[in-house]
Amino acid sequence: MLGVDRKADEKEIKSAYRQLALKYHPDKNPDSEEHFKEINEAYEVLGDSDKRAKYDRLGSSYRTWERGGQAPGGFDWSQWSAGGRAGTRVEVGDFGDLFGGGGFSDFFNAIFGMSAQAQQQMRGRDMEQPVAISLVEAYSGTTRTFKLNGRKLEVSIPPGAKTGTRVRISGKGEQSRGQPGDLYLKVRVQKMPGIERKGDNLYMEVETDLYAAILGDEVELSTLGGSVMLKIPAGSQPGRTFRLRGRGMPKLTDPSQHGDLLASLKLTVPKKLSKEERKLFEQLAKLRKS
């Protein structure tokens, strides 16, 4: 299950577990929850020196049993069970499956006590708490403070959080006779006037006057990450979009990486002209017709 050699030492086992746990954690990969449980179950055995020794002794005993011509499914597991009743038998077809993957939960149940299913039944329910944050907080990351059982709990919400992102706080769900459930913060990112978010990219309009569009100019643009100067080339048309790479939202999986900011040019036409301005525009109009 952990992909290590049977003779692997504690360091190798821990390293393999951490890599797999990171890869298959439900917060990053919701479809891998069952596999994540299996990985944890395997580490529960192999990461504990006493259980590891028991696991190795069992393998040796079973092979001795099998070499004696006994039926694979008739091995008496009662001598190995942790807290089980005498005579407990777990029927399996292939000991290789038991150690390799398919029957591992039966193995864990018979040798190390309570089955994963029983643990799940005794485990407290997971709880969900909605939390609203601003787009600025989603950009920089933020914290929220809650009261649980009379105690304050401060929870970090990572940069790049989206509407629907769930932040897991282990063991802070419903209490029970077994393990407590988990608490999940379900994030809702509030809209911000003037900026639209699509994935990790941000979209906004940059207003400029007719003169800047015709002659070219440089304008200051306020972004979530600070102010930047945007160069508008001469002859820019209304609706022209400028892409500012790396000025969008941080990526949830890697906040050091950012999406882009796309700024669309919006021209503002003066509603009132002075006599001199009107006269100059009339002269320009005559020049265009000539």
- Burial (CB < 10 A; 0-12, 13-18, 19+), residue 283, is exposed
Q: Are 18 and 106 contained in the same domain?
A: yes
Is 161 among the domain residues?
yes
Buried/exposed 54-67: b ≥16 CB within 10 Å, e otherwise: bbeebeeebeebee
Residues 110 and 153 grouped into a single domain:
no
- Amino acid of residue 24: Y
Distance separating alpha carbons of residues 4 and 18, to the nearest angstrom: 13
The total of structural domains in the chain comes to 3
One-letter amino acid identity for 47?
Answer: G
pLDDT digits (tens, 9 = 90+) for 259-281: 999 999 998 888 888 899 889 88
Q: Which domain holds residue 63?
A: 10-122
CATH number of the domain at 182, please. 2.60.260.20
The answer to whether residue 2 sits within a structural domain is: no
88 and 133 housed in the same domain? no
Kindly report the CATH number assigned to the domain that includes residue 100.
1.10.287
Give me the mean pLDDT over the 200-229 stretch. Answer: 91
pLDDT at 107: 55
Angle between helix axes 33-46 and 49-67 (nearest 10 degrees) is 90
**Within-domain flag for 4:** no
In a domain, 174, yes or no: yes
Cβ–Cβ < 8 Å for 266, 206: yes
Q: What is the pLDDT of residue 71?
A: 55
Whether 168 and 242 map to the same domain: the answer is: no
Please report which confidence band the pLDDT of residue 1 belongs to, taking 50, 70 and 90 as the band edges: confident
Question: Of 220, 224, 202, 201, which is closest to residue 212 (Cα–Cα)?
Answer: 220
User: Can you tell me the distance from the alpha carbon of 289 to that of 282, in angstroms, rounded to the nearest whole number?
Assistant: 11
Assess whether 153 and 236 both reside in one domain. Answer: no
Same domain, 116 and 131: no
Residues 6+ apart with CB under 8 A from 103: 92, 94, 97
**26 found inside a domain:** yes
Average pLDDT over residues 82-109: 44
134 and 181 in a single domain? The answer is yes
Of 81, 97, 122, which residue sits at a domain end? Answer: 122
Counting Cβ atoms within 10 Å, is residue 50 exposed (0-12), middle (13-18) or buried (19+)?
exposed
Are residues 106 and 29 part of one domain? yes
**28-37, 67-76, 266-275: range with highest mean pLDDT:** 266-275
Residues 104, 101: Cα–Cα separation, whole Å: 5
Say if 40 falls within a structural domain. Answer: yes
Q: Is 68 in the same domain as 115? A: yes
Instruction: Say how far apart CA 243 and CA 245 lie, in whole Å.
Output: 6
Q: Indicate whether 141 and 165 sit together in one domain.
A: yes
* Highest-scoring range by mean pLDDT, 47-56, 73-82, 175-184, 205-214: 205-214
Answer whether residue 5 is part of any domain.
no
Is residue 3 assigned to a domain? no
pLDDT at 176 over 80: no
